Amino acid sequence: MAAQSRFRQGAPGGAGAVGVVPGATAAPSCSPAAAPAAPRHSVGREAAVSSCPRDEADGDIPTSLYQTCVLGLVLATLTYPSMAAFDDKPDSLFFSDGQRRIDFVLVYEDESKKMTHKRSDRKKQKRKRQVYESNLINNGLQLEATRSVLDEKLVFVKVHAPWEVLCRYAEVMHIKLPLQPDDLKTRDSAFSWFSSLFRVDENIIKPEQEFFTAPFEREHLSNFYIQDKDTFFNPATRSRIVHFILSRVEYATKNNVKKFGINKLLDSGIYKAAFPLHDSSFSHLSTDPDCPSERYLLYKEWAHPKNIFKLQPLDFIRKYYGEKIGIYFAWLGFYTNMLIVAAVVGVGCFLYGCLTKDNCTWSQEVCDPSIGGKIIMCPQCDKVCTYWNLTITCESSKKLCIFDSFGTLVFAVFMGIWVTLFLEFWKRRQAELEYEWDTVEYLEQEEQIRPEYEAQCTHVVMNEITQQEEHVPYTACGKCIRMTFCTSAVFFWIVLIIASVIGVIVYRLSVFLVFSATLPQHVNGTLAIRKYLTPQTATSVTASIISFLVIMILNIVYEKVAIMITDFELPRTQTDYENSLTTKMFLFQFVNYYSSCFYIAFFKGKFVGYPGKPVYWLGKYRNEECDPGGCLLELTTQLAIIVGGKAIWNNIQEVLLPWVKNLIRRYCAAARSEKIVPRWEHDYHLQPIGKLGLFYEYLEMVIQFGFVTLFVASFPLAPLLALINNMLEIRLDAWKMTTQFRRMVPQKAQDIGAWQPIMQGIAILAVVTNAMIIAFTSDMIPRLVYYWSFSVPPYGNHITYTMKGYINNTLSVFNVSDFKNESKPFPPWLGNQTTCRYRDFRYPPGHQHQYEHNIYYWHVLAAKLAFIIVMEHVIYFVKFIISYAIPDVSQKTKSKVKREKYLTQKLLHENDVKVVKKTMGKIADKIFKGVDGPFRPKNE
């Protein structure tokens, strides 16, 4: 859905009176590179500390006494937040005075009421918290504390940022704010009438005015579009500024190293939570007339299941949650809309396979008693396996006709083009959002250094560009060591994943022997269970389930490993951190999720030898063979189990668990339900969003994107399943975020980060994998070679091109007397037959080149390689043309960017020139007037 506005004004908050709480001081000036300002009391504190006695006539003062003296003087000079009682207004978003808006809430447990820690530990925690809160006040923030209504041990510290603090830090953070309303005329799209049917009712969520914006500067305050100071900074911007301050205020100094930041205080348990407030309940409108109840509107018009077919109110989401969440839902919605086209084509190919399966000649030959019923196949394992009749694969061959048809080839080519269209059109859409949401130059101007990085900056280096000294956490050698260690750790854990995959393969090889020995062994295949539950099918299904369970378990392990490695790597900014973690996690997940599919598609049944000379794994386990119809159906089964199981597991983990946890909390508090509970306490009992935020949401969708594109040739219904899942995923994520989780700290995001190049890499790889699936996994190429070359002379006996005789032509002959003793089957039932058949292209026994590959094999191999080369080059050429033809930025967006730059130059810079000219003109007039006045130049 197209964005409706460039800048959204905040809800009326009534932050009018900018009074200072007792003890607060004016905040010092700050620059982007400046450290958190020192408390104003520091000078007085040093003088007081110097008065503590160190040496007396009768002896030295004990160290503990000196420390007690220092601690007492330091604590005496701290500034504490004022305490206020709850005013019984459950939906209030303001301090007790009803004027100052709550921009953030800190929660801690009163140390005097804790019984789980030592007394000395409680005192240390209290001292750090008091120093931190005092420094917050000295940095200009205003604090007010209120005890919990339900639990007297909890204390809620409400934080408010006055106008002066907001202006100063908006300039430090280069936040873009409105200059003037957007005056460019926009033309409605030709399809706007159609999309309006699915949009949110504008009478409920009203479109807001668009603005041209520029980075805020206090010197040019009069040039910005300020109608009301209370609404100039919207709640999301206010919370982001306060969180920026909270992340950089000091709370202790140890070994001359400053410790600062709310994250470390949360990790150490000094604070139990820190979050911005939801503005209302999601189930009803706020009772506060000054509250716009945006959370309620989001739940009603976005998160509710009834809106599953509606477009998302992206601008409203961005206004409430910030750009980072907004761009995620914009991307997810765009991806889901593009899946509609892929799903329609995929369903069409599936229906084509269903309609043509009855005309599938090779399947008919398998099921024909006079053809398939007379073909006895060789055992597929050593000793315990017996001979079997080809007709037992009749049902699987019919199913295979649905997926292994000409429609599969068409769909694979289409998906190679579709993924390019998706990525190119997303770039255009992303460019529009970057401009409309003021993130075009975000990375260059706004992003700040991570507090964890700043805390480790102990080395001094010379900046080559500025020729000035700057602090870094490690030297060039140290950085090289860190990168080497991190890379080695990543490869080590990838090897462990591959080892787990090999373990599953060994399970497949060993359990196949068990199923072959226990399942019905009638060679005529008369039992019904034998038609559907073959050893191959049983092995495939159980191995897929085990593989899925292993994947889910390994995900938990590798998540912690990836975080540990990235923390040790110590990236400079949050974007660098997330991109580094994204790359590591995707590498782990790629191997974890896709390795079993790659095994089935490209390795199973490819290196098995022949019955007289089979190939063994680890010298013990005989390699698996595919059914006579190939491994394509097994690959489809594997994909269906993993994709379906993954969707169910993720929904349980992401939605059901938070709901159950919140339900338990509400049940435990039912006895106290008659009490009126404030908004901040309601929000505290919701689930925290987690440090990585949307990382797992992106990861889930990109893994799905891989399944939809990499193996789509084997499963044309994958886009349809992904479409259904994503339509639910959007509403479930919205419901979860709106009702079950605390409000996230609004964050800026220019794009979807490292996920973009990852998807581009998947798109390139998808062309290769789908071409190889058609060539090596399916039987399409062998059938085409037979139809055009081997069904007619000189290789065939038919007069016209036909598929008749294909099965007999593709099954080689083996003499049972050539079995080795270690592989000869125990039940030697064959009647009068002395030969069996196996799937390969080899010369028969008695031929001068017996059991060597025949001419059919080399024709098929050449055709497969030629097909891969032609398909790849055609699709890559079309992808290149599409990428070149579709510009990344639309002309409309380019015009808006140029207009905004022009206005910024005109309003902010040319006005300065005019002021200088005006001032210089006055000075010049005074000089010229002085010529005729009392001040005459001295005669020479």
Is the per-residue pLDDT at 410 higher than 70? yes
At 329-338, the pLDDT tens digits run 999 999 999 9
Query: Given this model, what pLDDT does residue 844 score?
Result: 92
Q: Angle CA(19)–CA(23)–CA(25) in degrees, nearest 5?
A: 70
Query: Given this model, what pLDDT does residue 238 score?
Result: 92
Residue 213 CB contacts under 8 Å (≥ 6 apart), including other chains: 6, 7, 176, 177, 178, 179, 438, 900
Is the per-residue pLDDT at 32 higher than 90? no
Query: Given this model, what pLDDT does residue 193 score?
Result: 60
366 near 372, Cβ under 8 Å? yes
Instruction: Grade residue 461 by pLDDT with cuts at 50, 70 and 90.
Output: low
Is the per-residue pLDDT at 26 higher than 50? no
The mean pLDDT of 366-392, rounded to a whole number, is: 85
Query: Given this model, what pLDDT does residue 469 score?
Result: 62
The mean pLDDT of 814-834, rounded to a whole number, is: 79
406-436 vs 755-772: helix crossing angle, rounded to 10: 170
Query: What distance in Å separates the CA atoms of residue 302 and residue 660, rounded to the nearest whole number?
Result: 22
Specify the DSSP class assigned to residue 745: P
Is the per-residue pLDDT at 57 higher than 60? no
At 677-731, the pLDDT tens digits run 888 998 998 888 877 778 888 988 998 999 889 888 888 888 998 999 899 889 9
415 near 766, Cβ under 8 Å? yes
At 841-895, the pLDDT tens digits run 999 998 999 999 999 999 999 999 999 999 999 999 998 898 888 888 888 888 8
Query: Given this model, what pLDDT does residue 145 score?
Result: 93
Give the CA distances from residue 358 to residues 105, 352, 363, 364, 365, in Å, rounded to whole numbers and listed in that order: 67, 11, 8, 8, 12
Both structure tokens of 143? 């604090």
Query: What distance in Å separates the CA atoms of residue 752 and residue 328, rounded to the nearest whole number?
Result: 7
Query: Given this model, what pLDDT does residue 869 score?
Result: 93
Short-list 85, 86, 9, 89, CA closest to 286? 89
Query: Given this model, what pLDDT does residue 798 score?
Result: 85
Query: Given this model, what pLDDT does residue 526 score?
Result: 42
Comparing 374-378, 484-488, 800-804, which segment has the lowest mean pLDDT?
484-488
Instruction: Grade residue 56 by pLDDT with cuts at 50, 70 and 90.
Output: very low
Read off the amino acid at residue 81: P
The mean pLDDT of 596-620, rounded to a whole number, is: 83
Instruction: Grade residue 414 by pLDDT with cuts at 50, 70 and 90.
Output: very high
Is the per-residue pLDDT at 127 higher than 70? yes
At 652-666, the pLDDT tens digits run 777 777 778 777 766
Query: Given this model, what pLDDT does residue 161 score?
Result: 94
Specify the DSSP class assigned to residue 111: G
* 623/37: higher pLDDT: 623
Query: Given this model, what pLDDT does residue 159 score?
Result: 94
Query: Given this model, what pLDDT does residue 24 score?
Result: 35
Query: Given this model, what pLDDT does residue 463 score?
Result: 60
380 near 521, Cβ under 8 Å? no
Is the per-residue pLDDT at 839 higher than 70? yes
Query: pTM (2 decimals)?
Result: 0.80
DSSP per-residue string spanning 890-910: -HHHHHHHHHHHHHHIIIIII
Q: Is the dihedral of CA 861, 865, 868, 871 positive or negative?
A: negative
Query: What distance in Å separates the CA atoms of residue 709 and residue 499, rounded to the nearest whole number?
Result: 26
At 913-933, the pLDDT tens digits run 555 555 555 555 655 455 454
At 624-636, the pLDDT tens digits run 777 655 688 878 8
Query: What distance in Å separates the CA atoms of residue 346 and residue 723, rounded to the nearest whole number?
Result: 11
